[in-house]
Amino acid sequence: MALPAPGNPISASMINTEADRSSSFTAPLSGNSSTPQVGSLVKIYSPPDSSVDQNAPHKFSEFYSKSWNGRNSIQFKQYYYNSSNSFPSATQACVSSAWYGGNGTTVYYTGILGVGTIFYTTPFGFTRYSFTSGQNYSFKTAPNSTETLAITADSLGVVQSYSVCPSLTAFWTANANNPRNAPDSFMSSQSACAQRYTYSFNYFAYHTGVNTQPVAGDFVYLDQTLTVPLMATNNLVWYQGSDTASYVNYGEVINRYAFNMNAGSGSSNLNGPGTVKANITDCSRQTIFLKRSGSVPSILVQFYYQASIGDAVNLTTNDILYTDSALTTTYPTAQTWLFDAGTSAKNPCYNTISCPSSISLNSSGVITNKTCNINPCS
């Protein structure tokens, strides 16, 4: 609230209280020189914090109806990326892992933060914070804030550049041989979904945007510093991802999907190289029931296969059938399995009437032959 209007009592304690200082704080009106000294009442109320005239002579009546705008606080972090102890680029200043250690250094400013804003070391003093000119720093209003700012400021504490960091979403990906390398790539969504991983080979990758899974136009990076993009060699390359940290069967990853990348190096064009294409394939399981040839009595066995294959009618040579929903176990011996072709695409063979048909599997569960009897049944 503003100080009293003209004609009302006014005092140093009132002026201190308005400026968020202790009412008993000892401070001269302006000091002994023509220029108000730091810490004096007149200096505290200088622009942009207030509008008290800074030209001598000074008197208490100058404070009538004045208000102290106060200073905002914000924290910044220096990421020890190099010898300058700061971020060499705006994208690296956006790294959220820099804030895992808790609070940063607090600086103060007045008004709306932007280019030209001045950072001070205290909420009242006029000592400016000295930054390394041209270097980027990571700013947050609080360590747990969802918004990160990349800011450069000079040695006089003046903001030179200001940008809001893009949001990043973490997801799981994997490399079967070395989790520190780029994730395994595949030439089809089917192959990507077929690969089985345990949590020990998984690590976080990061995509722009707020969706759980990467979507078309998102950039994908292998680090939070946005310096290692996921690079596809051509537009046919697929990768496996997972949006969960839950595991089954001794640490096997579940809730998996396959995503397709545009080829080329990183690009600022959201539809260009280095971005996710429109294709996202769920790696969930499909199931069918088959009966073993020659078995008496005829017993149905449930098999599972990759959801990316689609309906069972799409099953063909070299597809794999599993005996468990985790898609890790196959039938131990080569075998021919029987089923009736039906009028639904959910059947391995599509026909207008039910006809006995067969699928042959080798000892690895790979389909080596599919025989579809068509109308009339043979």
pLDDT tens sequence across 4-36: 999 999 999 998 888 877 788 888 888 887 788
pLDDT of residue 246: 41
Q: Would the pLDDT of 66 be above 80?
A: yes
d(CA 292, CA 129): 79
Rounded mean pLDDT, 74-87: 60
Model confidence at 351, in pLDDT bands (50, 70, 90)?
low
Model confidence at 87, in pLDDT bands (50, 70, 90)?
low
Q: Would the pLDDT of 346 be above 70?
A: no
Residue with tokens 């270097």: 135
Q: How far is CA 375 from CA 337, 339, 372, in A?
A: 20, 15, 10
Q: Would the pLDDT of 370 be above 60?
A: yes
Return the closest-CA partner of residue 149 out of 196, 110, 121, 113. 113
pLDDT of residue 265: 46
Three-state SS across 104-130? CEEEEECCCCCCCCECECCCCCCCECC
Q: Where are the alpha helices (DSSP H) in 131-263?
A: 189-194
Model confidence at 226, in pLDDT bands (50, 70, 90)?
low
Q: Would the pLDDT of 148 be above 60?
A: yes
pLDDT of residue 302: 79
pLDDT tens sequence across 174-216: 766 655 567 888 887 767 776 666 554 456 788 877 788 888 8
Tell me the β-bridge partners of 282.
257
pLDDT of residue 91: 64
pLDDT of residue 197: 63
Q: At 4, list the tokens.
A: 């009293």
Contact 143, 149 (CB under 8 A): no
Rounded mean pLDDT, 325-351: 74
d(CA 153, CA 159): 4
- Side chain identity at 215, as an amino acid letter? V
Lowest mean pLDDT among 72-76, 149-153, 311-315: 311-315
Model confidence at 95, in pLDDT bands (50, 70, 90)?
low
Q: Would the pLDDT of 353 be above 60?
A: no
CB atoms inside a 10 Å sphere around CB 191: 16
pLDDT of residue 198: 56
pLDDT of residue 30: 87
Model confidence at 219, in pLDDT bands (50, 70, 90)?
confident
d(CA 266, CA 91): 13
pLDDT of residue 244: 53
Q: Would the pLDDT of 45 be above 90?
A: no
Rounded mean pLDDT, 291-309: 73
Share of the chain above pLDDT 70, in %: 73
Q: Would the pLDDT of 217 be above 50?
A: yes
d(CA 163, CA 168): 15
pLDDT, the chain, mean: 76
Model confidence at 288, in pLDDT bands (50, 70, 90)?
confident
Cβ-based neighbours of 306, under 8 Å, separated by 6 or more: 190, 193, 194, 283, 285, 286, 319, 320, 327
Rounded mean pLDDT, 91-98: 58
d(CA 313, CA 310): 8
pLDDT tens sequence across 255-280: 678 888 887 544 333 344 468 887 67
- Side chain identity at 109, as an amino acid letter? Y
